[in-house]
């Protein structure tokens, strides 16, 4: 299983952002990097801030895109979200955009994982 090239990753993230925008999500930031981790997309749906991980897998051989969001990856996203929020405590949700298989179909997984206290 090879890594996705940066150019393909940017294309997938753009597709994900466009998909979410078409469904009413306002994208407010992309590729937010903090020392503790990175958030692919940050959006807003009503009063809720969405921290969105975008994952692509060409095969489900190793569990597909959803299985690639490990506990360690979740912890890094949560830490980056806390850093980005800077002490603010709005309603938040951790979502995932999953792009699986050769057809590149997109699935929006709302509430992909949770964080107590955020």
Residue 102, domain CATH:
3.40.1350.10
pLDDT the model gives residue 112: 94
Mean pLDDT of the chain: 88
Note the pLDDT tens digit of each residue in 39-69: 999 999 999 999 999 988 665 555 566 767 8
- What's the token pair of residue 78? 């949560």
Q: What is the pTM of this model?
A: 0.88
Task: Summarize the confidence of residues 22-50 as an average pLDDT.
Answer: 97
| Residue at 26 is within a domain | yes
- What's the token pair of residue 92? 């938040």
| Residue at 103 is within a domain | yes
- 79 vs 37: CA distance, rounded Å: 7
- 76 vs 88: CA distance, rounded Å: 18
Which residue reads 């969105």 in tokens? 52
> Of the given ranges (12-16, 95-99, 112-116), which has the lowest mean pLDDT?
112-116
| Residue at 66 is within a domain | yes
User: What percentage of the chain reaches a pLDDT higher than 70?
Assistant: 88
The alpha-carbon radius of gyration of the chain (Å, integer) is 14
| Residue at 1 is within a domain | no
H helices within the chain, ranges in order? 6-22, 64-67, 71-85
Task: Summarize the confidence of residues 99-109 as an average pLDDT.
Answer: 84
| Residue at 21 is within a domain | yes
| Residue at 108 is within a domain | yes
pLDDT the model gives residue 38: 95
Residues in Cβ contact with 57 at an 8 Å cutoff, skipping those fewer than 6 apart:
1, 64, 65, 68, 99, 100, 101
**Could you tell me the residue range of the domain that residue 91 belongs to?**
6-113
Q: How many domains would you assign to the chain?
A: 1
Phi, psi of 4 (to 5 degrees): -75, 135
């Amino acid at each position: 299983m090879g890594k996705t090239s940066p150019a393909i990753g940017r294309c997938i993230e753009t597709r994900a952002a466009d998909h979410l925008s078409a469904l009413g999500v306002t994208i407010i930031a992309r590729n937010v990097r903090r020392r503790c981790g990175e958030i692919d997309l940050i959006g807003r749906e009503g009063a809720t801030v969405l921290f969105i991980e975008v994952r692509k897998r060409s095969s489900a051989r190793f569990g597909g895109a959803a299985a690639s969001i490990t506990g360690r990856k979740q912890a890094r996203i949560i830490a980056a979200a806390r850093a980005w929020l800077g002490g603010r405590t709005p309603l938040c949700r951790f979502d995932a955009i999953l792009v699986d298989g050769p057809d590149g179909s997109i699935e929006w997984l709302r509430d992909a994982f949770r964080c107590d206290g955020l």
